[in-house]
Amino acid sequence: MKSDFRKKLYEKYNSSFKTYLSDFNSKSIISMWKTYDFTYLPLISSYPKDIAILELGCGRGYLLEYLKNHGYNNLKGIDISEEQIEISHGKGFDVQVSDAIEYLENNASKFKLIFALDFVEHFYKEELFPLFEGIFSSLEEGGVLIMHTPNGQAIISPKMIYGDLTHLTIFTPVSAQQILRIVGFKDIKFYEPEPVPKNIKGIIRLILWKIIKLSFNLIRLVEIGSTEKILTQNFIVSAKK
């Protein structure tokens, strides 16, 4: 279901895009994992370590590596980028090159957790129902989808929305909830990946962010009489089957 233009971009997604966009040195990776301690670990820490976990769009395998480091051992990942799958496979992970919609349609396994980080925005609207229905059917009863995606109502959103040519559908918490509920998800919760207090710099950034958010919501309150809870450039969703 991928269009031709995405296929061409994904063929060199790592070597012609990710390598130049992101800093993959050990310091930045450790910093990212420390952020995961605040964003994702609290959402999964109550689950047994042997639960089946699938990551859609696993890329270079940094989330899989983080999960493995925290004792989770039943991990699987898929990605459309052969270059990135080679990197993940080189780390010893059970990963494969696959179109997500096709994989979910043909998948016989059930997962307790499915991660989709910086993933769903890469699909056309007409692809969203097959994608989310596939995710829903691939979860165990009581299983959870955890997704991270650009926020269309963010205070500063253009970089995340337009910074990648393969970004096609941008959600807000309202529109994300719209499709999740129609597909059948329940207990849907939204989180802001705000600055995390992992050090002094993080604490200062968090305080400043709360001041900025308060100021922005004051403007909204004056203009339209309401405020928004999720204003970061991305947002996180957990949704239960």
- How far are the Cα atoms of 30, 85, 93, 232 from residue 200, in angstroms, in the given order? 17, 36, 35, 20
> Is 57 domain-assigned?
yes
Alpha helices in the chain, H assignment, sequence order: 4-11, 19-21, 26-39, 41-44, 62-69, 82-90, 100-106, 125-138, 158-162, 173-183, 200-224
222-239, pLDDT tens digit by residue?
999 989 999 999 999 999
Residue range of the domain that includes 136 = 4-196+231-240
Give the three-class secondary structure for 55: strand
Over the chain, what is the mean pLDDT?
Answer: 91
> Is 134 domain-assigned?
yes
166-200, pLDDT tens digit by residue?
899 999 999 999 999 999 999 999 999 999 998 99
Does 3 score more than 60 pLDDT? Answer: no
Alpha carbons 9 and 81: distance in angstroms, whole number? 9
Model confidence, pTM:
0.90
> Is 189 domain-assigned?
yes
* Average pLDDT of the segment spanning 51-65: 96
> Is 42 domain-assigned?
yes
| CATH, residue 39 | 3.40.50.150
Give the model's pLDDT for residue 22: 58
* Average pLDDT of the segment spanning 61-68: 96
* Average pLDDT of the segment spanning 42-61: 96
Structurally, how many domains does the chain consist of?
1
Cα end-to-end span (Å), the chain: 25
Give the model's pLDDT for residue 228: 92
